[in-house]
Structure 1
Amino acid sequence: MSDPWYITNVHILLRLLASMLMGGLIGWERERSSHAAGLRTHILVCVGSTLIMMLSVYGFAEFVKEPNVRLDPARLATAVISGIGFLGAGTILFTGKAITGLTTAASLWVVAAIGLAIGAGFYFAAFVCTLIVLLNLWVLNIVEQRYIRRSKDHQITIEGIAGTLTLDKISRFMDSEHIQIKKVTYVKERGGISMTSEMLVTELRLNVIIKHEYDSLELIGNIQKIEGVTAVAIE
């Protein structure tokens, strides 16, 4: 295209399809991991950013030759980068034991940037950026899980017969399993759903750090063997 302010319909179509493909690849990875923002969200963000970038560059071309008019192709792009933060913030959640969604929020922000790059015709940078993002979300996530982040926060809720289930028993068990206890909430002698009306139960809520390779089902089975335990839940 010799005229920097003009774009053909074919190029418009190619850029929108390219943004759909690249945004979809990143969104597909997020969808596979069951994150809040998945395939469709990432495609919409990327395609929308591409459209806004093309509008910013080419949408006002008829005013180029008007006197006292100066066009800034980046003016709408800056609004996209700022505005995408609100969408990303919606994917960040505080679950009580950890903050989740930061990576998905960052992926939305990067997808918006990829869409802007495609809209401006910066294809190579957009393609390389997509590969880097996929490498980070997929390959480096495996490396992180296996070799870097060896432990994970969990919340264990244990319910048992009052007087029989004691904090000392649970503490000794956790020490033997090399599970670090960060916080304990102790509820003494209250009615339990699984118990008869004449029996009282004790409930323990523990925020712990468990090794990543630990089998949760095996842990539940071992806790159930403790005298007095009637119910176990791990989150």
Structure 2
Amino acid sequence: MAFLDWASVPVQLVLVLTAFGLTSLVGLERRLRRKSAGLRTHALVGTGSAVFTLVSAYGFAELPGGAGAPADSSRVAAQIITGIGFLGAGVIFTNRDVVHGLTTAASIWLSAAIGMACGAGLVPLAAAATGLHFLSALVLTPLSRRLPGMVAPQGLRLRYEDGHGVLREVLSVVDELQLTASVVSSRRTGEPGSPEVELLLRVEGKTDLRTAAVQLSRIQGVLGVAQETLEEEPGD
């Protein structure tokens, strides 16, 4: 049974709070991009990983084998990787051979690594990993779109009358055109007596977007359709 070492408690709390803070930054970036796993998920993953690592390091100092028995402090920490694999798989989905959520799953995996580094006392390493995440998000993403042969993800911005089943018809036409659409943003506009919705869809598939825009503009209740280049990369 492990005995509480009060002298190490302040250090442990600082490490856990550091993991919480760093992984919250990672989660905030995902939240601002409106991803399925955001601020709370990343913060909890990082904090939990730090706690597991600290438990692994401090919680099994005294083993049934007696004083001086060797303690393998890596056993608990090693299982974090397996558990995070299942959690990350939950945010990945495939629709018509288009994979979504890979980047978010990788960021959850990174949050676990940051938390483990904090729990092990490797705060500079955890801070460096957090910085590299933002380097990837803010620098590598726009850089990848400038590479030869790379095409930026495309979207369609629709403005339609609210409350008349227009969105259902829009999604039906998108499906008929063999396109995959996901909502990037949605907001209500228009006057109080004639509510409207402005919807930005991320669209992927074989059909040309100009053709899709023409087809969608013919739907009764659709007030306007425009193509738009998105900032996100596939797999986010």
Q: Is residue 19–residue 50 contact of structure 1 (8 Å, CA) maintained in 2?
A: yes
Unaligned runs of 5+ in 2: 157-164, 167-174, 180-204, 228-236
1:85 aligns with 2:57: no
CA drift of 1:128 comes to 0.8
CA drift of 1:118 comes to 0.7
Aligned residues: 179
Distance 2:122 2:66 in 1: 28
Q: Which AA in structure 2 matches 1:205?
A: L
Q: Which AA in structure 2 matches 1:102?
A: L
SS of residue in 2 equivalent to 1:121: coil
Q: Is residue 98–residue 153 contact of structure 1 (8 Å, CA) maintained in 2?
A: no
Distance 2:93 2:125 in 1: 31
Distance 2:63 2:154 in 1: 58
**CA RMSD, aligned part only?**
3.7
Distance 2:122 2:212 in 1: 52
Q: Which AA in structure 2 matches 1:11?
A: V
**1:100: which partner in 2?**
100
Alignment of 1:5-154 (within 5 A): 8-63=8-63, 66-67=66-67, 69-96=69-96, 98-147=98-147, 149-152=150-153
Overall identity of the aligned pairs, in %: 33
Structure 1 residues 110 and 59: alpha-carbon distance in aligned structure 2, compared to 1, 3 A threshold: same
Structure 1 residues 39 and 209: alpha-carbon distance in aligned structure 2, compared to 1, 3 A threshold: same
Q: Is residue 153–residue 210 contact of structure 1 (8 Å, CA) maintained in 2?
A: no
CA drift of 1:70 comes to 1.8
Distance 2:41 2:89 in 1: 14
TM-score by length of 2: 0.64
Q: Which AA in structure 2 matches 1:150?
A: V
Q: Is residue 178–residue 206 contact of structure 2 (8 Å, CA) maintained in 1?
A: no
Structure 1 residues 59 and 140: alpha-carbon distance in aligned structure 2, compared to 1, 3 A threshold: same
Q: Is residue 62–residue 69 contact of structure 2 (8 Å, CA) maintained in 1?
A: no
Distance 1:53 1:59 in 2: 10
